[in-house]
Amino acid sequence: MKILGLIGGISAESTTVYYQQLNRLVRERLGGLHSCELILWSVDFAPIAELQAKDDWEATGTILADAARHLEAAGAQAIVICANTMHLNAPQVAAAVKVPLIHIADATAAVLLAKGVSRPLLLATRFTMEKDFYRNRLEAKGLSVLVPGKSDRDRLHDIIYDELCQGVILAGSRVVVQDMIERGRADGADSIIFGCTEIGLLLDPDAMPLPTVDTAIAHAEAAVNFALS
């Protein structure tokens, strides 16, 4: 089994999901008492969130690249950034190490294409929905990505940072996001991307009205595929 190097803490809430999913998947595939071999470098999210708000992605890239170098030095054989938004810094991270980076958008696209869909509604942070680093990667795979309207994007961003990243799960916010999904379906979406690794804490992908990809789970599956290859 190859050793995975996880950059976590962005946020800590979803990093626990990664840890659980990675170990579950390895146990299911290998059986018995098997678990995932991994190294976790968990960053302090508060200063990173401040840099995000300032649009200082060079600084966030420096932090993540440094974390990746530490993981590689500790024996990691691949890097997993446990977040969607921070894949904006994927080029800096990949350039900082010799081991491969397992990209969350590639894992997400593979699952969507396997489901036979092409017009996913992307639910994520404002950065992921509005900047092109993520949508372009999906569109290069042949997907046509939809995003909610501006007021919905702003509301969803606040739910993610003010609630989900802090471990707060509110029924009212669940209804708000479900309404966003209905508007997206009316606009022609044929599938849904939980494009923030915390959204799966709020909504069950199996209970959605359209085929749905929880990116944290898809990413963990891609990481285990690599680890066991």
Write down the pLDDT at residue 15. Answer: 96
Write down the pLDDT at residue 23. Answer: 98
123 and 88 in a single domain? The answer is no
186 and 83 in a single domain? The answer is no
Write down the pLDDT at residue 77. Answer: 98
The residue segments making up the domain with residue 162 are: 104-215
The string of DSSP letters for the chain reads: -PPEEEEE-TTHHHHHHHHHHHHHHHHHHH-TT----EEEEEPPHHHHHHHHHTT-HHHHHHHHHHHHHHHHHTT-SEEEES-SGGGGGHHHHHHH-SS-B--HHHHHHHHHHHHT---EEEE--HHHHHSHHHHHHHHTTT---B---HHHHHHHHHHHHHTGGGT---HHHHHHHHHHHHHHHHTT--EEEE-STTGGGTS-GGGSSS-EEEHHHHHHHHHHHHHT-
Question: What are the mean pLDDT values of the chain's consecutive 10-residue runs (229 residues total)?
Answer: 97 95 97 97 97 97 98 98 98 98 98 97 97 96 96 97 96 97 97 96 96 97 98
202 and 108 in a single domain? The answer is yes
**Residue 118 near residue 142 (C-beta atoms within 8 A):** yes
91 and 108 in a single domain? The answer is no
**Tally of domains in the chain:** 2
166 and 67 in a single domain? The answer is no
The pTM for the full model equals 0.95
118 and 189 in a single domain? The answer is yes
57 and 126 in a single domain? The answer is no
Q: Which residues contact 31 (CB under 8 A, 6 or more apart)?
A: none
Q: CATH number of the domain at 21, please.
A: 3.40.50.1860
207 and 141 in a single domain? The answer is yes
112 and 84 in a single domain? The answer is no
165 and 149 in a single domain? The answer is yes
137 and 97 in a single domain? The answer is no
> Which residues does residue 146 pair with via DSSP β-bridges, in sequence order?
121
> Could you count the other beta carbons within 10 Å of the beta carbon of residue 153?
20
56 and 91 in a single domain? The answer is yes
Write down the pLDDT at residue 122. Answer: 98
Write down the pLDDT at residue 146. Answer: 97
